[in-house]
Structure 1
Amino acid sequence: MRLPALLFIVLNPYSQAQERRPVDLVLIHGTVVTMDADRRIIEDGAIAIAGERIIAVGLSSQVTSEYDARKVIDARGALVMPGLINAHTHMAMSLFRGLAEDRSLEDWLQKYIFPAEAKNVTADFVTWATKLSLLEMIRGGTTTAADMYYFENEVADALKEAGMRGVLGETVIGFPAPDNKTAAAALTYTEKFLTRWKDDALIIPAVAPHSIYTCPEKLLKDSAALARAHHAPILMHLAEAPYERDVSRREHGTSTVQYLARIGVLGPDLLGAHCVWLDQADIQTMTHSGAGCSFNPSSNMKSAAGLSPVPEMLAAGVPVGIGSDGAASNNDQDMFREMDLAAKLQKFARMDPTALPAEQTVAMATITGARALHIDKQTGSLETGKKADVIVVDTGAPHSTPMYNVYAQIVYALKDSDVRTSVINGKLVMENRKLLTLDEPAILKKAEEYKKQVASSFTH
């Protein structure tokens, strides 16, 4: 007797077999911390990656049944989470680490850093100093960095070589700089920089007017106009310290935020670094403008710049990320430490243990930081269609055992040295703590050579 067709389909063991789709990489058997809108945490989870994008997030059993990977990474005993986003740094300042300590921001900049830069910063210096920061960042789980410095073409080249994602701002400043001696030259250089890196897979070029106290009004306006003509982000220091607050009040009759809004610079394409000296009116102006902010706890504590009103900004809808600042003012690029300090500093200053809870802090270092940089459609969470920026973080060390709450563990217990593997834009850049894109011995050797040069420049 011939079976009906429908019944045959049910009984035939081959009828429902699906051919598994080929992919480049699958990470399996980890605790997947998605940081998506639902904050899904998937035990025994997996993600599949094809090219530069995530194409599946789910249970290991589901993902492995649907995808055939060229390479499989077993993340058992680890978290699989979005790569960390360093929302403000100066990577090439790593070679000034420890140069001038325990000073006010004004003295530190005017008497030490600006002179040191004038004497030492060249294209080659920036290349090697950036690579030194990248060693630390990749080892510590950072997959995106927002940078402001000089010779930003060299910064971009170093990031491309390392495989790091970056929002990179060429610094425009109102006095002769190492790469450009006039404002006109700086703007011309920056326009070429924007054109060269437009639509790059890893590099988002930006314009970075340093601050209101180093840039005259015309230069601020010209920088913003250049950025907007090229649909590029604007990165700048904003309301960073009492010194800047006093300059703004004296010269402009208002706060930094209100001044930038008045002259048309503040907007949804701007990321303000620090945002310490903001009152409620400033926060509302930031909210309405659509601008983002970077909270830099270590740097602000060390320079006694003050406490950024982060909970108030977040409550008002201002996207706030976390940044390390440069190694000359921090003195490292450890985003796990920055998360820990970000939460604890807000709690301590307010005498409120509920301020800036762990889950919100992790979001600031991932999806909210991406939103502050206006790149949240690309990265910041583990979701189908997004760029594959993923880290695998071990949880089995004594300092992270046992684990009851994933977010608390990330913020208060885990360390940068717990990062096992890093994937950026779908490419492995570190596997089992082995760096795959950078020559660490060569970089460290070059750093020691430059140390002698920098030290010598301050003794003659």
Structure 2
Amino acid sequence: MIDLLLIHGTVVTMDRNRRMIQDGAVAINGSRILDVDTSEKLIEKYEAKEIIDCSHHCILPGLIDVHGHGGHSMFKTIAMENLDFWMPIMTNTYKHFVTDDFWYYEGKLSALDRLKAGITTGVSVLGSMPRSDDPIFAINHAKAYAETGVREVVCTGPCNPPWPHLFSRWIDGKRITRDVTYEEVLNGAEAVIEALNHANEDRTRAFITPFVIVTSVEPSGPTSPAKLRKLTGHDLYQAKKIREIARKYNTRIHSDAFGGMIHLAVRDWENALLGPDVHLQHCRGISFDEAKVLAETGTNVSASPGFSQIHARTPIIELLELGTTVAISTDGTSPSTSFDMFQAMRKTQFIHQAAHRDEYCLPPGKLLEMVTIDAAKCIGWDDELGSLEIGKKADVITVNLQQPHLTPEFMHIHRLVYQATANDVEHVIVDGKIVMKGRNACSVDERKVLAEANEEAFSTIKRAGLEKYMQQTKYFWGHTRSYADGTNYNEEDWTSIVAKGDNQ
């Protein structure tokens, strides 16, 4: 007798042949997919301890979000009235005003949010810039995901110079601030990888994650070619150390990259943070020469849709045509994005169709690949995840089609990509275990998770003095454009954070 049988659904396998099976079924035993075929054949072939009737549902692989941020779920929309200073405001908060417990409660909220969106594997970079001065932050976050039942790739590593950095830790309600050296954050990242990589029955993995692949240029956007001189000593040293850690623990490298960084990074022939074991998020504003480097080196790329793509686009179409593996990520969930990967697919399509002035770019099938099998390839887990195939891990979701916006039930891929939302996910199975059934989480008390997250968020906001970044400007209502002169904080506040940074 097998453990679980899903029957009478439209199975979207995402296998090599992209098979779709009408009135299909998936047989699961233990943590693996045992069989995928028609309902008639599998009902006759197997007896199961539990059977789920998936009539009027699509059955498909769990969605994979290859880039998001641990911590962000507590700070949705804060500081949105002036996005120019959002990064320093949030970085300062993560460095100095979050407790150890914050990472656990935020992890519970983040994991639950992803679970209910049909995301069975989520990548979490700790903070806005990764924080690794102590492994407890990542360990607490991973514990929360493990308890919720969602796979997590925990990503942490060094942020940018200068070094040493001031970081704060809260012990018994008291803030303790100290200088942390670059070597200490590397040691902290190693401790995270040693503790978490392949932990939780391999539902948890840990990647080494420097903030960006080249530290001496613009960290959050493209750098002008006129400013691309050479790699600094720290750039070379960081690449060498990151490579050493990745080899030591046989893990992968995840980082951000923007235009100009790849042009410089490839000059470091020995240790460049490029290649099949590397996954780069954003890649906005890269040149065609840089796109060719990514393709030639087999570097994996992910990109999330947003307004910043208007200023400097990720050349997704060009990268795909060059043979690069590209995944769609949410980059969720702060300041204004969600973990809804159905929305992410549609936004990605719209942005790049508009950029190319071609409404035939990125057809629905390709978009679905980019959040399933291609996403699994991006993080080096496609041997077990990303498709419904015999022997693979049983990470499966169902989408309820018996709703007005998803009816009539034909052209199922189109229906999923163009009309579905996260709230349409009905059942979620991870590693063969049912973790959401009928939209109810099975492994955690949802109300408790939300209550604890609310309490921790408000206490952190108060501790960090973020209330002033939650106020509406006088231009909020009745105006077509917002300005910062109507807020309760001013330019001096922001420039103080930017200038003092770690001294806050």
When normalised by structure 1's length, the TM-score is: 0.87
Q: CA deviation at 1:123?
A: 2.0
SS of structure 1 residue aligned to 2:449: helix
Q: CA RMSD in A?
A: 1.9
What is the rounded CA distance, in whole Å, between the counterparts of 2:10 and 2:447 in structure 1? Answer: 34
Overall identity of the aligned pairs, in %: 30
Pair 1:108-2:86 in alignment = yes
When residues 126 and 277 of structure 1 are mapped into structure 2, their CA distance, relative to the original with a 3 A threshold, is same
SS of structure 2 residue aligned to 1:47: strand
- For residues 371-450 of structure 1, the aligned pairs below 5 Å read 371-450=377-456
Please, which of 352, 371, 379 is the counterpart of residue 358 of structure 2? 352
- For residues 10-409 of structure 1, the aligned pairs below 5 Å read 22-101=1-80, 103-104=82-83, 107-110=85-88, 112-149=89-126, 150=131, 151-174=137-160, 175-177=165-167, 181-200=180-199, 201-211=202-212, 212-213=214-215, 216-217=234-235, 218-239=237-258, 245=259, 255-263=260-268, 264=271, 265-298=273-306, 301=307, 306-409=312-415
When residues 276 and 303 of structure 1 are mapped into structure 2, their CA distance, relative to the original with a 3 A threshold, is closer
When structure 1 is superposed on structure 2, of 192-201 and 346-355 the one drifting more is: 192-201
Q: Which amino acid aligns with 2:95?
A: A
Unaligned ranges ≥5, structure 1: 1-21, 240-244, 246-254
SS of structure 2 residue aligned to 1:70: strand
What is the rounded CA distance, in whole Å, between the counterparts of 1:274 and 1:329 in structure 2? Answer: 16
Q: Which amino acid aligns with 1:321?
A: A
What is the rounded CA distance, in whole Å, between the counterparts of 1:158 and 1:278 in structure 2? Answer: 36
Q: CA deviation at 1:96?
A: 1.4
Q: Deviations over 1:209-240 (max 9, x none)?
A: 0113469412343123211221101111111x
Q: Which amino acid aligns with 2:204?
A: I
Q: Which amino acid aligns with 2:12?
A: V
SS of structure 1 residue aligned to 2:344: helix
Q: Which amino acid aligns with 2:110?
A: S
What is the rounded CA distance, in whole Å, between the counterparts of 1:115 and 1:303 in structure 2? Answer: 25
What is the rounded CA distance, in whole Å, between the counterparts of 1:282 and 1:346 in structure 2? Answer: 19
What is the rounded CA distance, in whole Å, between the counterparts of 1:124 and 1:385 in structure 2? Answer: 38
What is the rounded CA distance, in whole Å, between the counterparts of 1:452 and 1:194 in structure 2? Answer: 31
Q: CA deviation at 1:262?
A: 2.4
SS of structure 2 residue aligned to 1:24: strand
When residues 369 and 177 of structure 1 are mapped into structure 2, their CA distance, relative to the original with a 3 A threshold, is farther
Q: Deviations over 1:127-166 (max 9, x none)?
A: 1111111111111100011111142222211111111112
What is the rounded CA distance, in whole Å, between the counterparts of 1:293 and 1:40 in structure 2? Answer: 26
Q: Which amino acid aligns with 1:430?
A: M
What is the rounded CA distance, in whole Å, between the counterparts of 1:443 and 1:198 in structure 2? Answer: 25
Q: Which amino acid aligns with 2:298?
A: G
When normalised by structure 2's length, the TM-score is: 0.80
What is the rounded CA distance, in whole Å, between the counterparts of 1:157 and 1:266 in structure 2? Answer: 30
What is the rounded CA distance, in whole Å, between the counterparts of 1:424 and 1:395 in structure 2? Answer: 21
* Matched-pair contact (CA < 8 Å) for 1:340–1:412: yes
2:500 is aligned to none
Q: CA deviation at 1:172?
A: 1.9
What is the rounded CA distance, in whole Å, between the counterparts of 1:178 and 1:210 in structure 2? Answer: 19
* Matched-pair contact (CA < 8 Å) for 1:148–1:171: no
SS of structure 1 residue aligned to 2:417: helix
* Matched-pair contact (CA < 8 Å) for 2:435–2:443: yes
What is the rounded CA distance, in whole Å, between the counterparts of 1:122 and 1:266 in structure 2? Answer: 34
SS of structure 1 residue aligned to 2:47: strand
Q: Deviations over 1:99-119 (max 9, x none)?
A: 1115456x3212x11112123
When structure 1 is superposed on structure 2, of 115-124 and 338-347 the one drifting more is: 115-124
What is the rounded CA distance, in whole Å, between the counterparts of 1:49 and 1:197 in structure 2? Answer: 27
Q: CA deviation at 1:439?
A: 2.1
When residues 103 and 272 of structure 1 are mapped into structure 2, their CA distance, relative to the original with a 3 A threshold, is farther
Q: Which amino acid aligns with 2:238?
A: L
When residues 98 and 232 of structure 1 are mapped into structure 2, their CA distance, relative to the original with a 3 A threshold, is same
What is the rounded CA distance, in whole Å, between the counterparts of 1:407 and 1:197 in structure 2? Answer: 36
When residues 220 and 446 of structure 1 are mapped into structure 2, their CA distance, relative to the original with a 3 A threshold, is farther
SS of structure 2 residue aligned to 1:29: strand
Q: CA deviation at 1:304?
A: 5.5
Q: Deviations over 1:394-436 (max 9, x none)?
A: 1111111114322211111011111000001111100011101
* Matched-pair contact (CA < 8 Å) for 2:32–2:393: yes
Q: Which amino acid aligns with 1:144?
A: T
SS of structure 1 residue aligned to 2:72: helix
2:459 is aligned to 453
What is the rounded CA distance, in whole Å, between the counterparts of 1:305 and 1:102 in structure 2? Answer: 19
Kindly tell me the number of residue pairs found equivalent between the two proteins.
Answer: 421
* Matched-pair contact (CA < 8 Å) for 1:122–1:178: no
* Matched-pair contact (CA < 8 Å) for 2:284–2:309: no
When structure 1 is superposed on structure 2, of 418-427 and 86-95 the one drifting more is: 86-95
Unaligned ranges ≥5, structure 2: 132-136, 170-178, 220-231, 469-504
* Matched-pair contact (CA < 8 Å) for 2:96–2:167: no
When structure 1 is superposed on structure 2, of 77-86 and 151-160 the one drifting more is: 151-160
When structure 1 is superposed on structure 2, of 185-194 and 445-454 the one drifting more is: 445-454
What is the rounded CA distance, in whole Å, between the counterparts of 2:296 and 2:79 in structure 1? Answer: 38
